[in-house]
Structure 1
Amino acid sequence: MVGYGKKLRELQIQEWKGYYINYKLMKKKVKRYVEQMEVGAQNRHNVLRDFSMLLDNQIEKIVLFLLEQQGVLAHRLSDIGKEHNTLFQQPNSINISELQEAYRDVGRDLLRLLTFVEMNAIGLRKILKKIDKRFGYKFTDYYVKTRANHPYSQLRQVFRQVGIGAVVGVLSHGLADLQDLQQCQGSYISIYDQPSYTHQDPVLKSIKAAVGRLSNSTNFLQFLGRHAFTMQEELPSPSEDQIVDERYHFMSLLLNLANTFLYMVNTYIIVPTADNYTLNLGAAASVCGVVIGTMAVAQMFSSVYFSAWSNRSYLRPLVFSSIVLLIGNTLYALAFDMNSIVVLLIGRLFCGLGSARAINRRYISDCVPSKLRMQASAGFVSASALGMACGPALACLLQTDFRIYKFTMNQDTLPGWVMSLSWLIYLLWLWICFKEPAHENEANLVLYEATTGPAVHVAVENEPTQPLLMNSEEKEQDEEGEEENDNAEETKKPVTSIVVAYKLLTPSVKVQLFVYFMLKYAMEIVLAESSLITEYYFIWSTSNVSIFLACLGLTVLPVNIVVGNYISNMFEERQILLTSEIMVCIGLLLSFHIMIPYSVTQYVGSALLTFVSAEVLEGVNLSLLSKVMSSRLSRGTFNGGLLSTEAGTLARVIADGTITISGYFSESNLLNTTLLPALLICISSIIATCYSYNSLY
């Protein structure tokens, strides 16, 4: 496997080789510090001081070179600007196309500079993660607090790109002027009056994307896509991109998103009627928590085996998922006529065992080209949000009561019958149209033969196929006799054990997983107990509950538009994270019923605040999680997507269990009893975030 150090050298611009971060040197320093501390030759304070000085020197080298190159680009733009002014005074003296190309040449060189900065930023993050893993996150906490928060921070130059904007502004203005002049419009468009004009040139689009990767700059599509948490390698090689292109199939991606949509409809279509269904079967209304939560319990197990199954196939597990969901929904519908709460729970258990969300995420990560992955991720989140809104809305339309032969069709059973029919149609569509992508090992083999010609290969079980005859260059060791491959954290070897995955979780990763647990717990409490609370306090009908839940689901996209286009461009992600957690906490506090009569305004307002804040928190949380999590968790069975799914599912299970247990004590105290654990968990997550705040960089 190619380590990060070797990949870094492969992607380096050779004439700038001496100005890149010396990742190899710092990695050896970390190893030496560990050995010295183990024998007592170094103490933690000296290590922090010495390594900080080393990192300061590396960052200073990068920043000074960056400023020097910016000066070169500024000088070139100044010369082009003189010709530009001459053109306006003497229109026929200079060729417009040549001047445009001169601007674009500067833009292309700026792109090279941005790539240089991006690679160094990745290297810095990796070395910070490495030393945190060895010594605890106190180093990043100390370094960011003393360096990044300083008014003369050089670290901020690498990660925030303050000076690049001026160069981009000159390029944008110059190209806009020339295009206007070339079209003989004579209006001399200003980039300040019409900002969208700056995005017309392809070079400027590429620069904008590169700046966005380095800074807080983002948009609705990027912010929405983060919710999918489809982890990927930070430095993908061209060969890997080519492999993914070979595996991409649009109809298969569409089927994958349809699976996501149907599963979310399946999850939330029963929420407005679950309490009524359990009452009709002779159980307490609060048992609806178990009915809803049974699906989440089964999903905890299904996520693991589906993630493992997707190492070999995507079609077969999706077919199996559809069949299991068809059976589960049929059992859910039949429970009414069989008058059996057991059959009802078994039906929901089957629905959870059919959860293929691990495959949905994995397919996007592995089979969608990087240039389309953000759109596909946003599609995944949009499909989930739409399904979440459509589920309760559909339940609202199923308010009827009739019989077909011996089967009862009413508001309790129709959700099961409708979803059974939906999964049957989906299964047929899947079987006809889904194209199984080539296995990753097979794709590697085809690509190798296509680029190097026929060769003899050896297949080793459970290992990627490797050429028998390797180039001598690939067998070379580094200058000091060490193997070039980095240690386990930097290799691309997939994580196949939960024990190994846990070892890769640094304290900051654990904090972010806990934050994810908290937000899912709070959202589940709000959604799952809505029918019970509104019936007890406001005597709402099933239709009213359905409309309320559908409206909550419909807030997802507008909220992400606002946050993605505006808020995330004004504040750092860690600032938005902490603020969102505090807003969730406020929403939960406002939800409590204390002394004064409980009103619809208080309930709806507090629920909306909690849900929207949790939705904002999810995007920022998963974005930060992808930055602090080891790159080894981007693939394999126990990948980052699976870990976050398990954390969120566990939160739903515990929340639904809390609702059921609280309902057995007293329905009048149900609201406060369920909100109290959510509030305590939320406060704990805020404290944990403050504790690890400076490591979220």
Structure 2
Amino acid sequence: MVAFGKRLKQTQIEEWQGYYINYKILKKKVNQYTRQIENGSGDHLLVLKDFSIMLDNQLEKIVLFMLEQQGLLAKRLSALREQQDTSFQQGSILDVSEVREAYQSVGQDLLRLLFFVEMNAIALRKILKKFDKRLGYGFTNYYVKTRANHPYSQLQQIFKHVGFGAVVGAISRNLADLQDNQGSYVSIYDQPLLHLQDPVVTSIRVAVDRLTNSTNFLHFMGKHAMIVQEDLPSPPQDDVDEQTFDLMSLLLNLMNTFLYMVNTYIIVPTADSYSLSLGAAATVCGAVIGSMAVAQMFSSVYFSAWSNKSYKRPLMCSSVLLLVGNVLYALAFDLNSISVLLIGRVFCGLGSARAVNRRYISDCVPPKLRMKASAGFVTASALGMACGPALACLFQVKFKFFRLTFNDDTLPGWFMALAWLVYLVCLCISFKEPPKPEFNILSQESNRGQKTHNTAENGLEQPLLEGSEEKKQDDDDEDDQDYDQNDDDSEENHKPATSIVAAYRLLTPSVKAQLLIYFMLKYAMEILLAESSVITGYYFKWSTSSVALFLACLGLTVLPVNVLVGNYISNMFEERQVLLTSEIIVCIGIVLSFKVGFPYSVPQYVISAVITFVSAEVLEGVNLSLLSRVMSSRLARGTYNGGLLSTEAGTLARVVADGTITLAGLWGESRLLNTTLFPSLLICISSIVATCFTYNSMY
């Protein structure tokens, strides 16, 4: 892959080259600072001051040029408005198509300017990250803290600007007035939900949202899927051929996600009673539930590697393993064996194909559908989480058939075995194996080496400046080559990580803090869900149906919460602000869950559970959305990708939480609640501290 500095050069608009951030000279300056520090001749304060001044000058150059271009666009729009008014006053016939083309031309130039700002914003983030990694000064923390909140912040003009709003509004309003349906409404302001069907306006809206980190429910849910995107906007010649895309295969891929989540949570309401019926303690439910997560930690890596060669075969293998696992889970009752029960759940965990589900969406879905498919992945998971306990609520029967017992303990296993059998048949018949990922990877490398680049929406093409003299200018000086060999911009370091250890080394402190947050929220949620049947049975004598109904209601809050966050909260506040606030609320929910002194009541349990679960859901969405943006682009590809790391962090949290429940059961059910909540509280406090230390790096 081409190094970032060269890719930045390739995508520059030729006539604007002098106004881009000088990434090359900034990188050379970082190399110079590195040599000074290694030689013992560098001064911490002088380095910070010198580099800050350089960045300030670069930002000022970009912002002033941006304002100048906005003024030119405004002047053109003003001239068009005068032309329309003059034609109206003189009663002359206005050539609507000509005026529409003029507005669209302004829109195309606005897209060029938006792309210019976006590339500079990406370059700024990259150089800040590089400085921190090479010198270890925490420069990003200092620079963002001192610049971002200043009333005259030029940094905010780049990342959170508002200057484009008037230009976008003028183009949108006038193009709407020139549409064929003119007169069906007064203006776009009277019908804000009526989207203008003009590709230029649509492209502008998407570009502005991407640049300002504004979002909606669809994009928020898509990021929630943790399918990490490339660090530069994708060219229109994408690596996925739309002709090879098969909708039925995508639906079967999402169905695998849904059924697996149903399989995970359908046994939660009855795991304690099943354990008791086999002669074990009720708290062994933690081991029963957690054994699936233990196996999933290993299967995720295996299936992720397998998906480099095929998608259909790992999905078929997953279905077979889950079919066998559920049959064993159901047979454990008649065999009176807790071992068979645990083995059955291990088989179910070995059948986890979530890594394949993510890779299929990332590699095989066309770009215009990828965000919708990612949102579908998250929605399928959420619905499966809610449907699992709801189905368990329906299995309140008991009968025998050919010496096999069917009751509320075994029916979840038999039902899921049948579901996986039907799914396996549909998979064999209808799933179409897409082109091998190796072919796609080669296509990606070929496309990225092309002479053109663009935003995914606007079709803007710029020729790559080429020639022996310019090629020499792009190469770093010989003095910097030793540093660039280990630099993030070197071609070697743009290859995907080849191991978990290599992937871990790519994580910055802020990303590590966010993975800790993800571990914390999954731990807190697993403690809440996995021990719910034991806690409610001990304190409130709830039946299996009551527990299942309560868990189903909790699961149903997932989609409404994400709608609220995606459409409103994430657009009103910075994601890092929502992140820290949600962590604090999770901490409050955990504290309220403790039994201290007075009798434990249903309102206390329900209110604290809702606070913990809902705030954890908000936290998960915002955390993964932010994580998908700041994580290294090398983790967007390959076996050991960002999605796998987040999955492993969440799965490890579930394993530790379920193990905590089982171990805490040794002290008796009366101490289970406080014993399991205490580690959850400590981890939550640790994540809040980590967030505070890395807060200004989450930018």
TM-score bucket of the superposed structures, by smaller chain: over 0.9
Matched, 1:436 2:438: no
Q: Deviations over 1:33-70 (max 9, x none)?
A: 11211111212222222111111111111111101100
Question: Cα gap change, 1:506/1:565 in structure 2, threshold over 3 Å: closer, same or farther?
Answer: same
In structure 1, C-alpha distance between the alignment counterparts of 2:469 and 2:522, rounded to whole Å: 47
Equivalent in 199, 205, 209 of residue 212 of structure 1: 209
Structure 2 residue identity aligned to 1:612: V
TM-score by length of 1: 0.93
Matched, 1:506 2:505: no
The answer as to whether partners of 1:129 and 1:628 remain within 8 angstroms in 2 is: no
In structure 1, C-alpha distance between the alignment counterparts of 2:442 and 2:287, rounded to whole Å: 48
Q: What does residue 467 of structure 1 align with? A: none
Percent identical pairs in the alignment equals 69
In structure 1, C-alpha distance between the alignment counterparts of 2:207 and 2:649, rounded to whole Å: 32
Question: Cα gap change, 1:237/1:310 in structure 2, threshold over 3 Å: closer, same or farther?
Answer: same
In structure 2, C-alpha distance between the alignment counterparts of 1:372 and 1:486, rounded to whole Å: 37
Matched, 1:391 2:370: no
**Correspondences of 1:310-321 after superposition (within 5 Å):** 310-321=307-318
**Correspondences of 1:224-623 after superposition (within 5 Å):** 224-235=221-232, 237-238=234-235, 241-243=238-240, 245=242, 248-443=245-440, 478-480=473-475, 489-490=488-489, 491=491, 492-623=494-625
Q: What does residue 452 of structure 2 align with? A: none
Q: CA deviation at 1:169?
A: 1.5
In structure 2, C-alpha distance between the alignment counterparts of 1:503 and 1:587, rounded to whole Å: 34
What SS does the aligned partner of 2:399 have?
Answer: strand
**Correspondences of 1:138-157 after superposition (within 5 Å):** 138-157=138-157
What SS does the aligned partner of 2:400 have?
Answer: strand
In structure 2, C-alpha distance between the alignment counterparts of 1:248 and 1:639, rounded to whole Å: 23
In structure 1, C-alpha distance between the alignment counterparts of 2:470 and 2:80, rounded to whole Å: 48
In structure 1, C-alpha distance between the alignment counterparts of 2:547 and 2:445, rounded to whole Å: 57
Question: Cα gap change, 1:237/1:27 in structure 2, threshold over 3 Å: closer, same or farther?
Answer: same
Is the deviation greater in 473-482 or in 348-357? 473-482
Q: What does residue 162 of structure 1 align with? A: 162
In structure 2, C-alpha distance between the alignment counterparts of 1:479 and 1:358, rounded to whole Å: 39
In structure 2, C-alpha distance between the alignment counterparts of 1:107 and 1:137, rounded to whole Å: 42
Question: Cα gap change, 1:138/1:649 in structure 2, threshold over 3 Å: closer, same or farther?
Answer: same
**Correspondences of 1:2-21 after superposition (within 5 Å):** 2-21=2-21
Equivalent in 659, 665, 672 of residue 657 of structure 1: 659
Is the deviation greater in 566-575 or in 487-496? 487-496
Q: What does residue 45 of structure 1 align with? A: 45
Is the deviation greater in 214-223 or in 67-76? 214-223
The answer as to whether partners of 1:137 and 1:507 remain within 8 angstroms in 2 is: no
Q: Deviations over 1:463-504 (max 9, x none)?
A: xxxxxxxx9989965555669998563443111122221211
In structure 1, C-alpha distance between the alignment counterparts of 2:324 and 2:195, rounded to whole Å: 54
Structure 2 residue identity aligned to 1:103: Y
In structure 2, C-alpha distance between the alignment counterparts of 1:616 and 1:197, rounded to whole Å: 29
Is the deviation greater in 67-76 or in 626-635? 626-635
Q: Deviations over 1:495-531 (max 9, x none)?
A: 1122221211111111011011111111111111111
Q: Deviations over 1:532-589 (max 9, x none)?
A: 1111111111111111111111111111111111111111111110111111111111
In structure 1, C-alpha distance between the alignment counterparts of 2:137 and 2:261, rounded to whole Å: 37
Structure 2 residue identity aligned to 1:16: W
The answer as to whether partners of 1:132 and 1:506 remain within 8 angstroms in 2 is: no
Gaps of 5+ in 2: 450-465
Structure 1 residue identity aligned to 2:522: K
The answer as to whether partners of 2:2 and 2:448 remain within 8 angstroms in 1 is: no
The answer as to whether partners of 2:249 and 2:432 remain within 8 angstroms in 1 is: yes
Gaps of 5+ in 1: 453-470
In structure 1, C-alpha distance between the alignment counterparts of 2:426 and 2:485, rounded to whole Å: 45
Is the deviation greater in 166-175 or in 390-399? 166-175
Q: CA deviation at 1:105?
A: 1.4
In structure 1, C-alpha distance between the alignment counterparts of 2:39 and 2:182, rounded to whole Å: 76
The answer as to whether partners of 1:96 and 1:178 remain within 8 angstroms in 2 is: yes
Structure 2 residue identity aligned to 1:166: A
Q: CA deviation at 1:595?
A: 2.3
Structure 2 residue identity aligned to 1:406: R
Is the deviation greater in 211-220 or in 340-349? 211-220
Is the deviation greater in 189-198 or in 305-314? 189-198
In structure 2, C-alpha distance between the alignment counterparts of 1:346 and 1:451, rounded to whole Å: 47
Q: What does residue 173 of structure 2 align with? A: 173
Question: Cα gap change, 1:87/1:409 in structure 2, threshold over 3 Å: closer, same or farther?
Answer: farther
Structure 2 residue identity aligned to 1:274: A
Q: CA deviation at 1:681?
A: 1.0
Q: CA deviation at 1:421?
A: 1.1
In structure 1, C-alpha distance between the alignment counterparts of 2:237 and 2:104, rounded to whole Å: 29
Q: CA deviation at 1:369?
A: 2.0
In structure 2, C-alpha distance between the alignment counterparts of 1:78 and 1:440, rounded to whole Å: 50
Q: What does residue 468 of structure 1 align with? A: none
Structure 1 residue identity aligned to 2:392: A
Q: CA deviation at 1:188?
A: 6.2
Q: Deviations over 1:184-237 (max 9, x none)?
A: 62x762333321235433222111111110113211111111210001212255
Q: Deviations over 1:298-347 (max 9, x none)?
A: 11111111111112222221111111111111111110010000010011
Q: CA deviation at 1:17?
A: 1.4
The answer as to whether partners of 2:308 and 2:438 remain within 8 angstroms in 1 is: no
Structure 1 residue identity aligned to 2:338: I
Question: Cα gap change, 1:439/1:240 in structure 2, threshold over 3 Å: closer, same or farther?
Answer: farther
Q: What does residue 99 of structure 2 align with? A: 99
Q: CA deviation at 1:449?
A: 10
Q: CA deviation at 1:248?
A: 2.9
Q: CA deviation at 1:247?
A: 5.1
In structure 2, C-alpha distance between the alignment counterparts of 1:106 and 1:476, rounded to whole Å: 33
Q: CA deviation at 1:99?
A: 1.9
Q: CA deviation at 1:129?
A: 1.4
TM-score by length of 2: 0.92
Question: Cα gap change, 1:651/1:445 in structure 2, threshold over 3 Å: closer, same or farther?
Answer: closer
What SS does the aligned partner of 2:178 have?
Answer: helix
In structure 1, C-alpha distance between the alignment counterparts of 2:689 and 2:100, rounded to whole Å: 54
Structure 2 residue identity aligned to 1:605: I
What SS does the aligned partner of 2:568 have?
Answer: helix
Matched, 1:191 2:188: yes
In structure 1, C-alpha distance between the alignment counterparts of 2:507 and 2:293, rounded to whole Å: 24
In structure 1, C-alpha distance between the alignment counterparts of 2:154 and 2:638, rounded to whole Å: 37
**Correspondences of 1:27-46 after superposition (within 5 Å):** 27-46=27-46
The answer as to whether partners of 1:335 and 1:341 remain within 8 angstroms in 2 is: yes
Q: Deviations over 1:415-436 (max 9, x none)?
A: 1111111111111111222222
Question: Cα gap change, 1:396/1:81 in structure 2, threshold over 3 Å: closer, same or farther?
Answer: same
What SS does the aligned partner of 1:495 have?
Answer: coil
